[in-house]
Amino acid sequence: MTFKKIKIAVTGSAGFVGSHLVKRLNELDADIIHLDIKNGIDITDWEQIKNIGNFDLLFHLAAKLYIPDSYENPLDFYHTNIVSTMNVLELCRTRKAKIIFTSTYVYGVPQYLPIDENHLIVAFNPYTQSKIICEQLCKSYNRDFDLNVIIFRPFNIYGNGQNFKFLIPTIINQAKKGRIILKDPLPKRDFIYIEDIINVYTKTILYNKTGFEVFNIGSGISYSVKEIAETIASNSENTNIEIKFSGERRQNEVMNTVADISKAKKLLGWEPNINLSDGIKYIISGKQ
């Protein structure tokens, strides 16, 4: 598989997911336009991006992500996530390019498990609300301008290079010191390894169906905070790791999420290959 004749723009190209995606696209000989604040390009500023050359496809990955920060700085989250999405949608409209937008888990407290793409959408924090607004913008550009849009709703991504604030890197860093201290052991999440995410992105480049599509991306299995901590401890070099929980519960906590990924399997021919235990081993060993 090669993408030599496809020009691909990537926002957030220097970020966690973006850097992994760019690495894979380079391996596939894609022609890449890097759009990242670390490269001096602020995609919330239309003047900085309006003259970018033509491209065929844009991956919109740039966003403010960390939920606790969205309560501390809601203006920054709403401005960054919504304005950047508005700008890249307009960029895609004027270039007649497809957009692949990375959303998030948007379902609130599940009414049923596993959760399919038709589940009720419920905003339960400022970050999620910003992503829902962005999804609505994507849908409006499809409706009004026939823009081809694919929305991915990844559940919980993890892997090498993720910000240390997130759960799995936090636990791994604590395990190195011999003591894991966490809050609530009970919440369960569906985790998807970074390379499985990249695999579905690259498959989507060759997905020729036009219009508007939404795909859940997850593993289809959920693990509790306690199970994750124990898995990390059992795979650490230190064999005598203490694990403690305070029992404190986060604001608007969702206790369990499991993705129904049957649509991605059927239409994209994709399914995850790396289970949580192996993914954690890869992170600890430094394997990509």
3-state SS class at 56: coil
Instruction: Round to the nearest angstrom and report the end-to-end CA distance of the chain.
Output: 20
Helices (H) and strands (E) in the chain, counts: 11, 11
Band of residue 238 on the pLDDT scale cut at 50, 70, 90: confident
> Does residue 243 form part of some domain?
no
With residue 169 as reference, give the H or E element that holds it: helix 167-176
Q: What is the CA radius of gyration of the chain?
A: 19
Summarised one tens digit per residue, pLDDT across range 15-61 is: 999 999 999 999 999 999 999 999 999 999 999 999 999 999 999 99
Cβ atoms within 10 A of the Cβ of 47, count? Answer: 8
State the total domains in the chain. 1
Considering only the C-alpha atoms of the chain, give the largest distance between any 2 of them, rounded to a whole number of Å. Answer: 59
Per-chain mean pLDDT for the chain: 95
Classify each residue of 161-192 as buried b or exposed e, where b means 16 or more C-beta atoms within 10 Å of its C-beta.
Answer: ebeeebbbbbbbebbeeeebebebbebbbbbb
Residue 2: pLDDT over 90:
no
Instruction: Report d(CA 243, CA 266) in Å as an integer.
Output: 40
**What's the pLDDT at 288?**
59
What is the DSSP code (8-state) at residue 211? S
Q: What is the pLDDT of residue 3?
A: 76
**Quick one: pLDDT at residue 266?**
97
Region at 76 (left for phi over 0; alpha for psi -120 to 50; beta for the rest): alpha
For residue 285, what pLDDT is reported? 87
pLDDT per residue as tens digits for the range 128-145: 999 999 999 999 999 999
In a domain, 115, yes or no: yes
Instruction: Look at residue 245 and tell me whether its pLDDT is greater than 70.
Output: yes
CA angle 211, 215, 218 (to 5 degrees): 165
The answer as to whether 241 is a domain residue is no
Per-residue pLDDT of 186-227, as tens digits, reads: 999 999 999 999 999 999 998 989 999 999 999 999 999 999
Does residue 37 fall inside a structural domain?
yes
Work out the average pLDDT over 90-110.
97
pLDDT at residue 252 in the model: 78
Residue-range definition of the domain harbouring residue 134: 7-162+191-218+258-273
Tokens of 172: 């791994």
Residue at 146: amino acid letter: D
> The dihedral of CA 193, 197, 202, 204: what is its sign?
positive
Confirm whether 127 is a catalytic residue. yes
Looking at residue 5, its pLDDT comes to: 81
Chain centroid, CA 71 distance in Å: 19
Give pLDDT, residue 286: 80
The CATH number of the domain where 199 resides is what? 3.40.50.720
Q: Classify residue 178: in a domain, yes or no.
A: no
SS3 of residue 42 by DSSP: coil
**pLDDT of 1 higher than 80:** no
Evaluate if residue 159 carries a pLDDT over 80: yes
Strands of 118-229, DSSP E: 149-154, 156-158, 179-182, 188-193, 212-217, 222-224
Residues 6 or more apart in contact with residue 59 via CB below 8 angstroms: 8, 9, 10, 11, 18, 21, 100, 102, 201
Q: What is the pTM of this model?
A: 0.95
Question: Would 170 be classed as within a structural domain?
Answer: no
**List 127, 158, 201, 223, catalytic entry:** 127
**For the chain, what percent of residues have pLDDT higher than 70?**
99
Model confidence at 237: pLDDT above 90: no
| Residue 47: inside a domain | yes
Phi, psi of 278 (to 5 degrees): -65, -40
Q: Do the domain assignments include residue 46?
A: yes
Higher pLDDT, 108 or 287: 108
